[in-house]
Amino acid sequence: MAAVRDRKKNYIYGRSKRKLEDSIKNSNLIPHLILRFGKIETKMSYGHKNPPFTLTTEMAAKLIFKNLKKEGIIYPLFGLRIISVILKILPKKVLTLLEI
């Protein structure tokens, strides 16, 4: 979800992720599948807050398998798609207030 909208706390990560996705989409060399999961519980994310729609590694693996034949950017959970639309249309000032 970091690629959807920059946040002050992790703008480098979000911009890097978006640039990677853009370069894959613009290459047009091969079909691609980008899955935007949100947060997945792993050893690396241990101790971080769990936002809505946090997935376990098992749930993420099942969603990957289910969507393998698709192409483009996929939000495996409908709620994540709704959140991404809201993040895109929210003014930056409102988003900044929500981060506090």
- Going from N- to C-terminal start, the domains of the chain cover 33-99
Q: What are the Cα distances from residue 55, in Å, to 5, 30, 92?
A: 20, 28, 27
Is pTM beyond 0.85? Reply is: no
pLDDT at 96 over 80: no
Render pLDDT for 8-59 as a digit per residue (tens, 0 to 9). Answer: 667 787 788 888 888 888 887 788 888 888 888 999 888 888 888 888 999 9
pLDDT at 3 over 90: no
pLDDT at 61 over 80: yes
Query: Which one-letter amino acid corresponds to residue 35?
Result: L
Q: Are 4 and 39 in contact (CB under 8 A)?
A: no
